[in-house]
Amino acid sequence: MGASTTLPCSEDASPPAWVLSSLHPECEYIFQLARDEQRCLREITDLGNLSSSSGCLPVWDSVVCWPRAAVGETIHSPCPAVFSVIKNNTGIVSRNCTPGGWSHPFPPYHEACSVEDEIPEESYFATVKLIYTVGYGASLLSLSVAVAILMLFRRLHCARNYIHMQLFLTFILKSVAVFIKDATLFSSDDTDHCTLSTVACKVSVVFCHYCIMTNFFWLLVEAVYLNFLLVSAFPRSRRCLWSFALLGWGFPLVCIILWICSRLYFEDTECWDINEDSPYWWIIKGPIVVSIGVNFFLFVNIIRILVQKLNPRLIQFNNSAQYRRLTKSTLLLIPLFGTHYMVFSFLPDYFNVSLRLCIELCLGSFQGLIVAVLYCFLNQEVQNEIRLRWMRNQEGSYVVVPVGAKGSQMDTPF
C-alpha cells in the first residue's frame, strides 16, 4: 500500500483585503495564482539539482504546486488559497504518483473546492456592470437637472440648498468618475486591467477615489447642518459655509495628495486600483470609515432631538408644522446617511463579496437618483417656483408669490 502525504496549507492562505469599491474581484484570483506559481517554480528550481529522475517530479498544474513524490505515494493538498477569496474551503484534493507519472486530481477541483459555485463568472460581472451603468446614468441625468433648477431660481438660493447642490455635484462627479475609470481600465476585452499601469489609468483611479471621498464628506456636512438646524444653533454667516466647503472638498483633496505621494514613492505598482494589504490605503479608507461612524451618531442624535421636539407638550403651536416638515425631511435623509456603509465598514473586506457588490455598486449607483427626486423634484419650494414660472409663461403676467413659495425661515439666504 502506497504512502500518503498531506501538504501543509499555503502561507498565503489568509484571504486578501478587498478594496472599498475599486478592485474587480477576478484580479484577486489572477494575482493569487501568479504568486503561487512563482513560489512553486522557485521551489522546483531549488530542488532541480538535488532530485533524481525516479518517482514524480515537482509540477505546477496551474492551480496547485505538487512536490516530488515516490512511485505509489499519494499526495493530499487542501483547496488552494485562491479559492478562499470568496469562501473558506476545507476540501482536499489528491494525486497519486504512478510509474507513468502523476494521476489526475481526485476529486476534481470544481467538486472538492466548489469552484463553479463560488468563483464569480464573467456573466455575473457583466450583469453587475450593466446595472450600475444604468444607475449611474440615471443619477447623472437627474442630478444635472436638479442642480440646474437650484441654480436658476433665485428664491431657492439658501444655505440648505447650497449644501444640497454640493452633495448633488459629488454624486455627479462620482458617476462621471466611474464611467471614466471603466472606459480606461475596461475599454477592451483584450486589456489586462489587472496589470495595466499607465498614467491615464492612474489618473482615472485617483479621480474616482477623490469623488468617492467628497461624496462621503458632503453627506457628513448634510448631517452636521441638519443637527445645527434642529438645535437652532446654525451660524448665519458665509464663514460657516466656507468651513463646510473646506471639509467637503478640501480635506479629501489633502488625503488624496498624501495617498498619491505614498503610492509614488512606496507602491507604484499596476494601476493603483489594487490595495491588497497596503497600509497606505487607510489614508483614504480611514477618513471614510470615520465619517460613516460620525454620520451614524449624528443620525441617532437627530432622531433623539426630533422625538423631543415633536412632543406636543414641549413645542409651540406655531412651530409644529415647521418641525413636522423638518421631520419628514430628516426621515427622507436616513438612506443618505449611509446606514448600509456602517455595516460593511466594520466587517472584513472579503465578507460576503456578492452582497457587497450588489449593495455598493448596484443599489449605490441609484443613490444619486433618489437624492435628486427627494430633495429637488419632490421639494415643495421647488415645485412652487416651477409652478409660478409656468404660470407666468402661460399668462404673460406677474403672479404674486405666495408665502409658501419663499425660502424657509430656518435657512440662511445668500
- DSSP lists the bridge partners of residue 413 as 158
Q: Predicted confidence band at 331 (pLDDT cuts at 50, 70, 90)?
A: low
Q: What is the pLDDT of residue 253?
A: 96
CA-to-CA dists, residue 182 to 22, 140, 275, 348, angstroms: 10, 16, 18, 25
Count CA atoms closer than 13 A to 248's CA, side-chain side. Answer: 25
Q: What is the pLDDT of residue 114?
A: 64
Highest mean predicted confidence (pLDDT) among 172-176, 347-351, 361-365: 172-176
Please give the Cα distance from 69 to 52 (Å, whole number). Answer: 11
Please give the Cα distance from 196 to 194 (Å, whole number). Answer: 6
Q: What is the pLDDT of residue 65?
A: 84
Please give the Cα distance from 242 to 121 (Å, whole number). Answer: 47
> What does the pLDDT average to over 54-67?
82
Percent of the chain clearing pLDDT 70 (strictly above): 64
- The CATH architecture that domain 120-397 belongs to is Up-down Bundle (1.20)
Q: What is the pLDDT of residue 142?
A: 94
CA-to-CA dists, residue 201 to 22, 101, 173, 182, angstroms: 12, 46, 17, 9
Highest mean predicted confidence (pLDDT) among 18-27, 117-126, 165-174, 233-242: 165-174
Tell the CATH topology of 18-42+51-113.
Answer: Hormone receptor fold (4.10.1240)
pLDDT at 125 over 80: no
> What does the pLDDT average to over 331-344?
63
Q: Predicted confidence band at 209 (pLDDT cuts at 50, 70, 90)?
A: very high
pLDDT at 120 over 60: no
Amino acid at 316: Q
Q: What is the pLDDT of residue 91?
A: 76
Which has the higher per-residue pLDDT, 86 or 255?
255
pLDDT at 340 over 70: no
Which has the higher per-residue pLDDT, 376 or 231?
376
Range of lowest pLDDT (65-79, 114-128, 223-237, 356-370): 114-128
The mean pLDDT of the chain is 75
Q: What is the pLDDT of residue 169?
A: 95
Contact indicator for 68, 56 with CB cutoff of 8 Å? yes
Task: Locate the domains of the chain by residue range.
Answer: 18-42+51-113, 120-397
End-to-end CA separation in angstroms for the chain: 89
Q: What is the pLDDT of residue 158?
A: 84
> What does the pLDDT average to over 284-303?
87
> What does the pLDDT average to over 172-196?
79
pLDDT at 17 over 50: no
Q: What is the pLDDT of residue 258?
A: 96
Contact indicator for 410, 230 with CB cutoff of 8 Å? no
Q: What is the pLDDT of residue 100?
A: 83
Q: What is the pLDDT of residue 159?
A: 84
Q: Predicted confidence band at 230 (pLDDT cuts at 50, 70, 90)?
A: confident
Task: Determine phi and psi for 329, rounding to 5 degrees.
Answer: -65, -40
CA-to-CA dists, residue 66 to 109, 137, 144, 323, 382, angstroms: 14, 49, 58, 70, 69
Q: Predicted confidence band at 14 (pLDDT cuts at 50, 70, 90)?
A: very low
pLDDT at 379 over 90: no
Alpha-helical runs (H) found in 75-196: 109-112, 115-118, 122-152, 159-185
Which has the higher per-residue pLDDT, 80 or 345?
80
> What does the pLDDT average to over 266-282?
79
Q: Predicted confidence band at 2 (pLDDT cuts at 50, 70, 90)?
A: low
Contact indicator for 388, 399 with CB cutoff of 8 Å? yes
> What does the pLDDT average to over 61-72?
84
Q: What share of the chain is helix, strand, coil (3-state, %, to 5)?
A: 65, 5, 30
Percent of the chain clearing pLDDT 90 (strictly above): 18
> What does the pLDDT average to over 334-339?
62
Please give the Cα distance from 301 to 309 (Å, whole number). Answer: 12
Q: What is the pLDDT of residue 139?
A: 93
